[in-house]
């Protein structure tokens, strides 16, 4: 934990610090060794929040994007169940910052408990298996509405598609003969119409994240986060690029998790 209660205030760990857990009120002691990230721990082995994950510098870096009173916020729902959310924004969106894989059962429980939430998933451990492939045109464009893409694979040379206008009797996913084209014929057009959607190939994907009912953002450690999405009326898996700063900015003003990074705000002058 980053915070414990000391004399009625939420404070960060300090050497020899003693306080209480904000959730279960059991005694907490500060851990301020030279080699460990400073944190609080329960004085006696106690698991007051079974969803709590050991904190890493990656967690702390994410929390640091938000005001201190938005971090580690107790959330009560249902039958007086209490959990400690990693971040709860001033507008009420819960951000769960997830470093290690979790079971589908736990993922679903947390989504049901928090409702208005997003996941930020550390992609470091599967970065080498996650291939971001060719761009896709803006799903609202005429081109996108005419084209049906085949699922791209990382060991395949180029994106493949067929046109509804040239195959008027075909339905996506139904099989049958279609005239197939390669993306190189329309590369410039696709790039010009791109708004941040890409095909991807996730080798040995963590299926749970693909089935999540809440927005999932993958963090591979650079300036862009990748939101898992579906594209077109045929549900092609795709990722959508969202700037790290854009996501943090939107989290402070948007009220619903599904509205994050869907609107453009001009930067305020000055
Ligand atoms: Zn506790």
Q: How confident is the model at residue 18 (pLDDT cuts 50, 70, 90)?
A: very high
Side-chain half-sphere CA neighbours of 119 within 13 A: 25
> How many A from CA of 113 to the centre of ligand 1?
19
Would you state the pLDDT for residue 208?
94
Tell me how far apart the alpha carbons of residues 240 and 111 are, in angstroms, rounded to a whole number. 21
CA 256–ligand 1 middle distance (angstroms) = 29
With a threshold of 0.95, does the pTM exceed it?
A: no
Burial grade of 157 (CB within 10 A; 0-12, 13-18, 19 or more)? exposed
Which of 193, 178, 177 minimizes the C-alpha distance to 134?
Answer: 193
CA of 255 to the centre of ligand 1 (A): 29
Q: For the chain, how far is it from start to end, CA to CA, in angstroms? A: 37
Q: What is the SS3 string spanning 160-228?
A: EEEECCCCCCCCCCCCCCCCCEEHHHCHHHHHHHEEEEEEEEECCCCHHHHHCCCCEEEECCCCEEEEE
CA of 11 to the centre of ligand 1 (A): 15
Interval between CA 23 and ligand 1 midpoint (Å):
5
Percent of the residues in the chain that have a pLDDT greater than 90, as a whole number: 82
Q: How far is the CA of 49 from the centre of ligand 1 (A)?
A: 7
Span from the CA of 215 to the centroid of ligand 1 (angstroms)? 28
Cα separation, 213 vs 210, in Å, equals 9
Question: What separation in Å is there between the alpha carbon of 53 and the centre of ligand 1?
Answer: 13
Nearest-angstrom CA–CA distance, 162 and 175: 12
Does residue 40 sit in helix, strand or coil? Answer: strand
Q: How far is the CA of 4 from the centre of ligand 1 (A)?
A: 9
The pLDDT value recorded for residue 156 is 86
CA 188 to ligand 1 center in whole angstroms: 56
Cβ contacts of residue 242 below 8 Å, gap of 6+? 196, 217, 224, 225, 226, 227, 260, 261
Q: Please list all protein residues whose beta carbon sits less than 5 angstroms from ligand 1, which is an ion.
A: 21, 23-24, 48
Is the pLDDT assigned to residue 45 strictly greater than 80? no
Average confidence score pLDDT of the chain: 93
Which pair of structure tokens corresponds to residue 190? 């696709």
User: Domain spans of the chain?
Assistant: 1-48
Predicted confidence at residue 267, as pLDDT, reads 57
What integer is the mean pLDDT of 93-118? Answer: 95
C-alpha–C-alpha distance, residues 242 and 3, integer Å: 30
**Half-sphere exposure of residue 127: CA atoms within 13 angstroms, side-chain side:** 9
Whole-number Å distance, alpha carbon 41 to ligand 1 midpoint, is: 8
Find out whether 224 and 245 touch, Cβ atoms under 8 Å: no
Sort 178 into a burial class: Cβ within 10 Å, 0-12 / 13-18 / 19+.
Answer: middle
């Amino acid at each position: 934990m980053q915070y414990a209660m000391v004399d009625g205030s939420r404070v960060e760990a300090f050497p020899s610090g003693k306080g209480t857990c904000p959730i279960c009120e059991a005694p907490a002691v500060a851990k301020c060794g030279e080699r460990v990230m400073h944190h609080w721990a329960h004085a006696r082995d106690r698991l007051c929040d079974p969803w709590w994950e050991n904190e890493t510098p990656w967690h702390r870096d994410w929390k640091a994007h938000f005001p201190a009173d938005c971090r580690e916020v107790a959330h009560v729902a249902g039958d007086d169940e209490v959990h400690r959310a990693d971040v709860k924004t001033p507008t009420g969106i819960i951000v769960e910052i997830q470093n290690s894989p979790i079971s589908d059962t736990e993922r679903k429980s947390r989504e049901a408990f928090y409702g208005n939430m997003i996941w930020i998933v550390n992609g470091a451990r599967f970065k080498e298996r996650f291939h971001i492939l060719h761009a896709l045109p803006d799903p609202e464009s005429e081109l996108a509405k005419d084209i049906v893409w085949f699922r791209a694979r990382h060991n395949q040379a180029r994106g493949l598609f067929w046109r509804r206008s040239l195959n008027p009797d075909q339905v996506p996913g139904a099989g049958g003969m279609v005239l197939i084209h390669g993306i190189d014929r329309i590369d410039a057009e696709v790039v010009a119409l791109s708004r941040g959607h890409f095909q991807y190939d996730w080798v040995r994907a963590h299926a749970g994240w693909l089935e999540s009912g809440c927005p999932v953002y993958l963090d591979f450690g650079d300036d862009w986060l990748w939101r898992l999405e579906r594209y077109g009326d045929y549900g092609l898996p795709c990722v959508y690029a969202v700037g790290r700063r854009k996501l943090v900015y939107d989290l402070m003003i948007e009220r619903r998790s599904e509205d994050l990074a869907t609107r453009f705000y001009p930067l305020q002058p000055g």
